[in-house]
Amino acid sequence: MRYIDVNVRDEYLDCQDRFIGAEGSLGDVAFRLTFSSMWDGLTKTVHFQNYGGSTATATVDSNNNCVIPAEAKQYAGKCLVYIEGAVETSGGFVSRKTCTNGVEFTVAANTVTYR
């Protein structure tokens, strides 16, 4: 598995490596996330919107990692990513919520055209 280091400072998502893999691949790349104290106590979810417009989500695990879902790499092009954190009560009421800015990641084509 390849890891992409992502730093989340308050509501700002930042990383150097913005290549999440080739279209059609799955289970091979994950985000390794570092959060500022603003995110303490929140359930964190990563949201993905692929080049075709479909969306997917993935929950951040207890080690602050998140495997990039197959839907995010369904099409070559750009994939928009943002992170949401929330605290919900037992009745489903959200008592606190934080979101990051959206960042575009690249998904490479898995085909080659020879000329």
The contacts of residue 38 (CB under 8 Å, 6+ apart) are: 10, 11, 98
Q: 70: helix, coil or strand?
A: helix
pLDDT of residue 104: 96
Question: What is the mean pLDDT of each successive set of 10 residues along the chain, which is 115 residues long?
Answer: 97 95 94 97 96 95 97 95 91 86 94 59
The one-letter amino acid code at 75 reads Y
- pTM exceeds 0.85 for this model: yes
Q: Name the region of 5 (left: φ>0; alpha: ψ -120 to 50; beta: rest).
A: beta
pLDDT at 113: 54
Rounded CA separation 82/12 (Å): 9
pLDDT of residue 85: 95
**pLDDT for 95:** 84
Contact residues for 12 (Cβ-Cβ < 8 A; gap 6+): 100, 101
Closest to 13 measured CA to CA, from 76, 78, 69, 85: 85
CATH of domain 2-108: 2.60.40.3350
Measure the CA–CA gap between 82 and 25, rounded to whole angstroms.
21
Domain spans of the chain? 2-108
Query: Would you state the pLDDT for residue 115?
Result: 53
Contact 12/32 with Cβ under 8 angstroms? Answer: no
